[in-house]
C-alpha cells in the first residue's frame, strides 16, 4: 500500500495510539510516526518498545510538520491539548480524535481550531480492558467499525483520505451525526460499562459473600463484568460526565425494563421471562453474524497482547 500521510502524530501513547502506530507501520500507510504522552514513564516505555519512530516530550513537538494528528487522550483533556498544539499545527493538517463521545469533543476542540486546519472527529469501536503502551497490537482494528462524525464544512477530499487511512488499519468506516453517535454508544458501550461497574461494586459491598468466594467462584457472567470494569477509570469518568444526557436516558429505559423483569420473577411469570430472553438472545446472534464476535467459547484463555503489564498513562 502507498503512503497516505507522510507524518502522523499521536497525542497519547496508550492502547489505541499504540495500535494505530503498529497497524499503520504494518500497512505502510505513514512514512513517519511521532508520539508523546504526559507521563514520562509512558514515554520511556514507548521508546523501549519502539512503538513510534520518534517519542518527544510534549505535544507541540509531536505535531510539528504532521499531516495527520490523532488525539488519543481522555475526552476531558481534548480541549486543553488542542489549545496547546494550535500554534504548532501545519497548514492543511488534519486533526482527528478517538474519543468515545463526539458532541463534547467537538465543543472542546472547535474553539481552538485554526482556519487552515481540518478537524474530522472519529471514534474506533475497538479496545480491550488493558491500557498503556504495552497493550497495543496491530490487529486491534481488524473488521471493527471506526465511526467518523464529519462537520458540515468538512473538506470531502480530506475526509476521503482519512477514510483510506482508517481502512488501511483494517477497520470498516462509517459516517454518523454526532448526537446520534452519542446515543448509539450510550446503548452499546457506555451504559453496559456502568452496569458492569455497578455489579462488581455490589459484589464488593455484599459482605455475606467473601472476597475469596467472589474471586474463586466467578462464573462467566460475573467474570465478564469484571473484565469490563477493569477498563481505564479516567477515560470512563470522562465518558459519563460528557455524555450524561444520553446515558441517563438509556439508564432510565434500563430501569423500566428491570422493573418489568422484577415483576415477572416475583409473579412467577415464566412465559414472559422466556419470551424476553428469546428476543434478547437474537441480538447476540446478530453480533456474531455481523462478524463482530465469534461463537467460540472463551474462558479467559484467549491470546493476550504480549509484553509487560498495562500502564495507565496516556
Weakest mean pLDDT among 6-20, 167-181, 262-276: 262-276
Q: Does residue 11 come out as left (phi exceeding 0), alpha (psi in the -120 to 50 range) or beta?
A: beta
Distance between CA atoms of 70 and 32, rounded to whole angstroms?
A: 14
The whole-number pLDDT of residue 298 equals 56
**CA-wise closest residue to 251 among 313, 170, 191:** 191
Distance between CA atoms of 115 and 89, rounded to whole angstroms?
A: 11
Split at pLDDT 50, 70, 90, the class of 207 is low
296 compared with 171, residue with greater pLDDT: 171
How does 114-135 read in b/e, with b if 16+ C-beta sit within 10 Å? eeebbbbbbbbbbbbebbbbbb
The whole-number pLDDT of residue 283 equals 80
The whole-number pLDDT of residue 308 equals 36
pLDDT in tens, 243-258: 999 999 999 999 999 9
Q: For the chain, give the longest Cα–Cα distance.
A: 67
pLDDT in tens, 75-97: 999 999 999 999 999 999 999 99
The pTM of this model reads: 0.81
Split at pLDDT 50, 70, 90, the class of 167 is very high
**CA-wise closest residue to 194 among 167, 228, 165:** 228
The mean pLDDT value for 220-248 works out to: 83
The whole-number pLDDT of residue 216 equals 66
Residue 253, number of CB atoms within 10 A of its CB: 13
DSSP string for 94-122: EEEE--S-SHHHHHHHGGG--TTSEE--E
25 compared with 281, residue with greater pLDDT: 25
Residues 6+ apart with CB under 8 A from 52: 10, 13, 21, 33, 34, 35, 46
Burial (Cβ within 10 Å: 0-12, 13-18, ≥19) of residue 221: exposed
pLDDT in tens, 261-311: 999 999 999 999 999 888 888 887 777 777 766 666 554 444 444 333 333
Domains contained in the chain, CATH given: 5-176 (3.40.50.720), 180-268 (1.10.3660.10)
Amino acid at each position: 500500500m502507498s503512503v497516505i500521510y507522510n507524518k502522523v502524530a499521536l497525542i497519547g501513547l496508550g492502547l489505541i495510539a499504540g495500535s494505530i502506530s503498529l497497524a499503520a507501520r504494518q500497512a505502510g500507510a505513514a512514512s513517519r510516526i511521532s508520539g508523546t504522552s504526559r507521563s514520562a514513564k509512558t514515554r520511556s516505555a514507548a521508546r523501549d518498545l519502539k512503538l513510534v519512530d520518534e517519542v518527544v516530550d510534549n505535544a507541540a513537538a509531536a505535531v510539528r510538520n504532521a499531516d495527520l494528528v490523532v488525539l488519543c487522550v481522555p475526552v476531558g483533556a481534548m480541549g486543553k491539548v488542542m489549545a496547546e498544539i494550535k500554534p504548532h499545527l501545519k497548514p492543511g493538517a488534519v486533526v482527528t480524535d478517538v474519543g468515545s463521545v463526539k458532541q463534547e469533543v467537538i465543543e472542546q476542540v472547535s474553539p481552538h481550531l485554526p482556519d487552515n486546519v481540518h478537524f474530522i472527529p472519529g471514534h474506533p469501536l475497538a479496545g480491550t480492558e488493558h491500557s498503556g503502551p504495552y497493550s497495543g497490537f496491530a490487529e486491534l482494528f481488524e473488521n471493527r467499525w471506526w465511526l467518523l462524525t464529519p462537520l458540515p464544512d468538512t473538506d470531502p477530499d480530506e475526509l476521503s483520505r482519512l477514510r483510506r487511512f482508517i481502512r488501511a488499519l483494517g477497520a470498516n468506516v462509517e459516517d454518523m451525526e454526532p448526537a446520534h453517535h452519542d446515543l448509539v454508544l450510550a446503548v452499546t458501550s457506555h451504559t453496559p460499562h456502568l452496569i458492569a461497574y455497578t455489579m462488581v461494586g455490589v459484589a464488593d459491598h455484599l459482605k455475606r459473600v467473601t472476597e475469596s468466594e467472589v474471586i474463586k467462584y466467578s462464573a462467566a457472567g460475573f467474570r465478564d463484568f469484571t473484565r469490563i470494569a477493569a477498563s481505564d477509570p479516567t477515560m470512563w469518568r470522562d465518558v459519563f460526565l460528557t455524555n450524561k444526557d444520553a446515558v441517563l436516558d438509556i439508564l432510565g429505559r434500563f430501569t423500566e425494563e428491570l422493573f418489568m423483569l422484577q415483576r415477572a420473577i416475583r409473579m412467577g411469570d415464566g412465559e414472559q421471562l422466556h419470551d424476553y430472553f428469546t428476543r434478547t438472545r437474537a441480538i447476540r446472534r446478530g453480533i456474531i453474524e455481523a462478524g463482530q464476535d465469534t461463537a467460540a467459547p472463551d474462558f479467559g484463555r484467549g491470546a493476550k497482547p504480549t509484553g509487560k503489564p498495562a500502564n495507565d498513562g496516556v
